[in-house]
Amino acid sequence: MTPITEVEGRRVALSNLQKVLYPESGFTKAELVHYYATSADVLLPHLRDRAVSFLRFPDGPEGQLFFTKNVPPGTPEWVTTAEVPRSSADGPARMVVVQDLPTLVWAANLVTEFHTHQWLVQTPDEADRLVFDLDPGAPATVVHCCEVALWLRERLAADGIEAYPKTAGSKGLHLLAAVRGGSSERTSEYAKALAVEAERAMPRLVVHRMTKSLRPGKVFVDWSQNAARKTTAAPYTVRARRAPLVSAPVTWEEVADCHAPAQLEFRANDIAPRLQDLGDLLAPLLEPGAATPLP
């Protein structure tokens, strides 16, 4: 019989809690659900009011991985959903919006990564986030991403935009900034222009085009994640990788001092101590008035 737990007055079914999702470390589904529940205070503000795509891996990272964008079958009636515009001729989609702890625990039981758009469901025509996904092509690593991130930080600062870094939770780095006054299309154009500038400034290190043949040994500055239809791994989500790695906020000092990829690898069990010491390093993105107009 599937156990039922009560979360803030909502009944949430939890299944297969003893299933080992990450054989290398023995990390179980129960530990995944516990991680999300105990990280809710910092995770939920970054999910709230955003349509969520789930990258599901119910049998662990070595099993089947699949994206769920539409509301999954069996979703409880109390889960908030929103109609989301999309470019296809099929009309708008209906997606989950993770507004509270019961929804977070329910979604965690699906075994998922959380991916969000760079806009709020109330204002889908206006981007409120600028994102750069720095993706290293082997033999380049996150160490090289850090060099590019520092350049982008200074370039954004020249336009009055403050950027905040987090690990991708895989092999790269993400930069986030709070912006206002622009559509996703305009934000993408701005991000692309900076990616092109970065390539001109560091031609041996940076590429702004996705063409795979151009990427070995370089950092791909993916500006396209700002497109309205795209989603990016949310802060604090656990990734479907070889270990329960987290897309973890980091300090600029950690970025500047990174000399080996392991320095910027954080597992689920590392996050609580970091939060105790550092708090939510991305909290400034949520502050009223933090958003900067696009140039």
Contacts of residue 218, Cβ cutoff 8 Å, sequence gap at least 6 = 136, 137, 140, 144, 204, 205, 206, 207
Q: Which of 255, 294, 60, 237 is nearest to 146 (CA)?
A: 255
pLDDT of the residue at 89: 59
- pLDDT of 86 strictly over 80: no
Bridge-based pairing state of the strands 219-222 and 206-207: parallel
Q: What is the pLDDT of residue 85?
A: 84
pLDDT in tens, 184-210: 999 999 999 999 999 999 999 999 998
Enter the tokens of residue 279: 């708090």
pLDDT value at residue 266: 98
Tokens of 145: 């991403």
- Adjacent-strand bridge partners of 180: 293
**What percent of the chain is predicted at pLDDT more than 90?**
91
Question: What average pLDDT does range 258-262 have in this prediction?
Answer: 97
Please write the tens of the pLDDT for every residue from 1-34. 678 899 999 999 999 999 999 999 999 999 999 9
pLDDT of residue 133: 98
* Structure token digits, residue 224: 């396209």
> Does residue 166 register a pLDDT over 70?
yes
* Measured distance CA(38)–CA(293) in Å, rounded: 34
Q: 184 with 127: CB under 8 angstroms?
A: yes
